[in-house]
Amino acid sequence: MSEIHELSALDLAAAVREGELSAAEVTAHTLERAERLGPGVGAFVTLTPELARTQAADVDATLAAARRSGTLAELPPFLGVPCPVKDLTMVAGVPMRAGSAALEGLVPPVDDGVVTLLRAAGTVMVGKTSTPELGLPAYTEPEVAPPARTPWDLSRSAGGSSGGAAAAVASRIVPVAHGNDGGGSLRIPASACGLVGHKPSRGLVSWGPHAVDGAGLTAHGVLTRTVRDTAAFLDVLARPWPGDTFHAPPRGDATFRQACERAPGRLRVGVLTRPVVAEDAAVDPACTAAVTRTARLLADLGMDVVEASVPFPSADWEPFMALWSVGALQAPVPAAAEHLLRPLTRWLRDLGRRTTGLEYAQALADAQRLTRRAAEAWDDLDLVLTPTLAALPAPVGSLRDDADPAADFAAQTRYTPWTSVANLTGRPSISLPVDLAPQPGGGQVPVGVMLTGRWGGDATLLSVGSALEEVVRWADRVAPEPS
């Protein structure tokens, strides 16, 4: 059998279920790698060895009882699989700093809903992964932890805001890690680290029962090395809670995992390499080449590949800025700790304070108008193919500008001129690691492409992603192990 850390989440779950490995063995192996490799890539802000060992012991006891009673088939799907949680999400009794010195000492009393579902699925919580302050930037360089780095090139950022999660999966510490995505925060680090990152359709993964959807920009998901793992975890997380504001359309009896085994059929795919959000963004030729390669592969799979239009002018993206800044202001930062926030966070919160109630309401209305405009512009397309990022993984510190937060934010939009469109419109979107770009000094860095579907079309995205995975076989690529 392969080394524990080489197994996908599905394969690891099968090995534990079949008795080839115990959950205790898996947890010990994972914690050793987390302690040894995690600091080099800035993966974790907190490790939880005692909690993980307790959960693993419970898993092994559950499995032993099920084997005696012949009820293995009734057990949860991911027993014994390590899955850390992003440090923007509550885990009962585990400190949560959200990447900020201003929230030091916060220990949530309850699990967030997605954590409850991950526990119910049998996963083992080995720690909290690093995130930038309040999850706001497209890079993970918090004041309370080292920068998150892609293991493909330690001089480059793992992206953000789920950067620690991506670093943990790409370093093969864990096969899957929880994250969330409000403007690209799963897809950006997926591209930087050579992973699969899927932002579900609005309403598909609930924020209940302790949090709310707000403007509906952000969705929970996971980072993995395979589309099938991503689909299987979406089956775990796509559960409603009472009182949900947003609801995705019914999907029938089929699972997302089953969608990966279904041929996608003949779809119409629009290709768009012109930036949407920051029309002045320079697009690296390697990012364009990855899209060209993917378009060719999709055509080989029998799809109709055509040119897609920019859905709306760059200037009309402004509603995202108002919604993002007011969202930053809503974070429960104690007034006495406001000075501990980094400059970008303070700048965004100040913008939020200056946004009137009427302006916020208008921003919500404008976002809904943009959703309609995108639907009209892409009405004849099943999928839209773009680069995930406009550049190769950014060097650590290259986007950050504490002296000029507005320039910092502008640099982030030029780096990510496509990702937030799916957040504004509620569409599902997935980043796939189709390419590696050679570097002048040697080595390679990942290049992701992004497929964005119709609202509720997550199964189609996963079916197409799985078909591409069969051809490209990106899960066989292994990043250099950080020292």
pLDDT, position 250? 84
pLDDT, position 2? 80
pTM for this structure? 0.98
Confidence of residue 375 (pLDDT cuts 50, 70, 90): very high
- For 336, phi then psi, to 5°, come to -70, -15
- For 271, phi then psi, to 5°, come to -100, 130
Catalytic, out of 100, 171, 185, 191: 185
Judged against a pLDDT cut of 80, whether residue 293 lies above it is answered with yes
pLDDT (tens digit, 9 = 90+) per residue, 226-242? 999 999 999 999 999 99
Q: Residue 8 catalytic?
A: no
- Burial readout 314-350 (b: 16 or more C-beta within 10 A, e: otherwise): beebebbbbbbbbbbbebebeeeeeebbbebbbbbbe
Taking Cα atoms as reference points, which of 237, 240, 277 lies closest to residue 257?
A: 237
Tokens, residue 254: 């089929």
Average of pLDDT values for 354-367?
Answer: 96
Alpha carbon distance 214, 355 (integer Å): 16
Average of pLDDT values for 287-301?
Answer: 98
* Cβ-proximal residues to 344 (8 Å cutoff; 6+ apart), any chain: 133, 136, 137, 400, 402, 405, 408, 409
CA distance readout (Å), 447 to 165, 200, 295, 419, 438: 18, 21, 15, 15, 10
pLDDT, position 12? 98
pLDDT, position 395? 98
Alpha carbon distance 382, 351 (integer Å): 37
pLDDT, position 344? 98
CATH 3.40.190.10 given to domain 4-476: no
Where are the chain's structural domains? 4-476
Q: Which amino acid belongs to residue 239?
A: R
Judged against a pLDDT cut of 70, whether residue 1 lies above it is answered with no
270 strand-pairing partners: 306, 384
With residues binned 3-state (H G I as helix, E B as strand, rest as coil), the percentages for the chain, rounded to 5, are 45, 15, 45
Q: Which amino acid belongs to residue 433?
A: P
Confidence of residue 49 (pLDDT cuts 50, 70, 90): very high
* Burial class, 444, CB count within 10 angstroms (exposed 0-12 / middle 13-18 / buried 19+): middle
Catalytic, out of 8, 100, 130, 161: 161
pLDDT, position 51? 98
Length of the chain as a residue count: 483
Integer-rounded Cα Rg, in Å, for the chain is: 21
Comparing 191-200, 233-242, 249-258, the range with the smallest average pLDDT is 249-258
Alpha carbon distance 38, 369 (integer Å): 43
**Percent of the chain with pLDDT strictly greater than 90:** 97
Comparing 157-166, 447-456, 474-483, the range with the smallest average pLDDT is 474-483
Average of pLDDT values for 433-444?
Answer: 95
Judged against a pLDDT cut of 80, whether residue 483 lies above it is answered with no
Mean pLDDT, all residues of the chain: 97
Alpha carbon distance 104, 109 (integer Å): 15
Quick count: other Cβ atoms within 10 Å of Cβ 131? 32
Average of pLDDT values for 168-197?
Answer: 98
Full 3-state SS string of 314-366: HHHHHHHHHHHHHHHHHCCCCHHHHHHCCHHHHHHHHHHHHCCHHHHHHHHHH
Strands (E), 142-184: 176-181
Q: Residue 185 catalytic?
A: yes
Average of pLDDT values for 358-382?
Answer: 97
Catalytic, out of 86, 162, 325, 431: 86
Average of pLDDT values for 196-225?
Answer: 97
